[in-house]
A and B are shown apart, each in its own frame.
Chain A
Amino acid sequence: RKEVEQDPGPFNVPEGATVAFNCTYSNSASQSFFWYRQDCRKEPKLLMSVYSSGNEDGRFTAQLNRASQYISLLIRDSKLSDSATYLCVVNEGIGTYKYIFGTGTRLKVLA
């Protein structure tokens, strides 16, 4: 069974803190990797794709380690508005249209 595993949290951090989330995936054939953000009872929204070389988008940095099948997300200078659940998402493999979602890591940024 192909799985994506995340620490569910919650991570409670003060405003301005740096926080990191990790995710592992079981299928070595997976090719596409993403972090999505989901607010309570809302749809997942794409935060960023994750590339092999690592990539950054403002305060957010994503890393991929294919050998260890591990993805990370780093959030610097946390804002109250970053409070949400962060979903690690991986495509199931070559020749499939299907994405596998992790259970998500809940982040609460405190004033």
Chain B
Amino acid sequence: EPEVTQTPSHQVTQMGQEVILRCVPISNHLYFYWYRQILGQKVEFLVSFYNNEISEKSEIFDDQFSVERPDGSNFTLKIRSTKLEDSAMYFCASTRTAGLGPYGYTFGSGTRLTVV
């Protein structure tokens, strides 16, 4: 079964450093997403990406964050100047179609980001 691949699985970084989280979506999917889950809390939407641009972003996704699809396969989330409260599990997801429809997301296994 096709899967979404995320690397690294765990990243520890010092406050103020920049991190790049990487994702390889399923190859025939067109819509890409980043969500995050702070430990013990709900999964929260960060951003959606389609046709090489951001289609929607949440209030969490401020100037500290950026996304890119640098080539035909990778989808990255960059967090500049990390803060302690950025510590969370970051999930990448992809879909063949937009949010409507019965297919749901396929999530990657996540990157656990720990800011110290």
Tally A-B pairs: CB < 8 A: 61
Q: Does A31 contact B (CB under 8 A)?
A: yes
CB–CB A103/B45 < 8 A = no
Interface size on B, residues (CB 8 A): 29
Residues of B contacting A96 in the complex (Cβ-Cβ under 8 angstroms): 56, 99
Contact (Cβ within 8 A) A45 B107: yes
Evaluate contact between A91 and B102: CB separation under 8 angstroms. no
Contact, CB under 8 Å: A36 / B48 = no
Closest chain B residue to A31 by CB distance? Answer: B100
Contact B100 A91 (CB under 8 A): yes
Chain A residues, Cβ within 8 Å of B56: 96-98
Q: Is the CB of A46 closer than 8 A to any CB of chain B?
A: yes
Interface residues of A (CB under 8 A from B): 31-32, 34, 36, 41-46, 49, 51, 87, 89, 91-92, 94, 96-104
